[in-house]
Amino acid sequence: NVVGTRAKHGVVYDFIAKLRRNPQELEVLGDGTQAKSYLHVDDCLDALLLSLNDAFCKKAVEIYNIGSEDQLNVIRIAETVTKAMRLRNVRIRTTRPHGGRAWLGDIKKMQLDVAKIKRHGWKPKRNSEEAVRLAAEQLVQALGPKN
């Protein structure tokens, strides 16, 4: 899950949009324990540039997983977004419809194996929490005050 300034969908953007509409309550789809890795777009770009350079030098294309080496759950993302928006006493309400998942087919836990690209010299500069915090701060600033 790539997060960053220009995102117009995804959990960070969606939470900001919901909280701009109603700063007292945030609806979280599922039970909030869904945990995935989050990668800031800057780290994603570094990985893409490394893989393109590698392909150019080797005259062969490799396939890599890119991601952070940890996970962050949705409740923690909600807390991070509310902090970035400088909101207090936000009620976080979970929906719990599909065995804790946000929707049928949602992946409850996800962690990519990034060992292959790490052997080529890449690793993310930020963990999932840092990536989400930075993305939330950037998006809040980019969106500006609510009209």
Residue spans of beta strands (DSSP E) within 22-63: 25-28, 35-36, 39-40
Q: What is the CATH number of the domain that holds 92?
A: 3.90.25.10
* pLDDT string in tens for the chain (147-residue length): 999 988 899 999 999 999 999 999 999 998 899 999 999 999 999 999 999 988 888 888 889 999 999 999 999 999 999 999 999 999 999 987 666 666 667 778 889 999 999 998 999 999 999 999 999 999 999 988 765
For residue 109, the model assigns a pLDDT of 87
Task: Dump pLDDT digits (tens) for 7-34.
Answer: 899 999 999 999 999 999 999 998 899 9
Q: CB of 12 within 8 A of CB of 131?
A: no
Q: What is the pLDDT of residue 147?
A: 53
Listed in order, strand segments (DSSP E) in 7-129 are 25-28, 35-36, 39-40, 72-73, 91-94, 109-110
Angle, helices 74-84 vs 11-21, to 10°: value is 50
Can you give the residue range of the structural domain that contains 15? 2-143
| 36: amino acid identity, one letter | K
**Domain count within the chain:** 1
Task: Give the pLDDT confidence score for residue 48 in this predicted structure.
Answer: 93
What whole-number distance in Å separates Cα of residue 68 and Cα of residue 128? 6
Q: What is the pLDDT of residue 38?
A: 97
